[in-house]
Amino acid sequence: QIALKESGPTLVKPTQTLTLTCTFSEFSLSTSGVGVGWIRQPPGEALEWLAVIFWNGDKRYSPSLKSRLTITKDTSKNQVVLIMTNMDPVDTATYYCAHRGPIYPGTFDIWGRGAMVSVSS
């Protein structure tokens, strides 16, 4: 059964860099058609797609955050890392990683439980 789990700091200071790790199991990011995405949700607000990385190394970023985001994968460790620079209090949110696969095309079909990140001095 596919599972994903986000990990990282719960609190960062303004201007700091956030590094989040998504560790997954029961699928491989070297399998054709597979991807892992990051989505965030500020408290009481809507979902916002941030970035996705695919099995072939293709990466896509939200245009509004592209200059601050980097997504990488370590296939051998079954991990995807999201780096967000210059954190601001408005970046306070729950950050989710999610699986994209060929069974349900175009969707994020399996989600992690999320990691709450607060930005405050």
Partner 1 sequence: QSVLMQPPSVSGAPGQRVTISCTGSSSNIGANYDVHWYQQLPGTAPKLLIYGNNNRPSGVPDRFSGSKSGTSASLAITGLQSEDEADYYCQSYDSSLSGIWVFGGGTKLTVL
Residue numbers of the site for partner 1 (CB under 8 A)? 37, 39, 46-49, 52, 60, 62-63, 96, 104-114
Q: Which residues pair with residue 97 across a beta bridge?
A: 38
State which residue, 46 or 76, has the beta carbon closest to partner 1.
46
The minimum distance between CB 75 and partner 1, in angstroms, equals: 22
The minimum distance between CB 56 and partner 1, in angstroms, equals: 15
Q: Which residue has the tokens 């990051």?
A: 38
* Residue 94: burial class (beta carbons within 10 Å; 0-12, 13-18, 19+): middle
State which residue, 104 or 120, has the beta carbon closest to partner 1.
104
Pair of tokens at residue 18: 């956030």
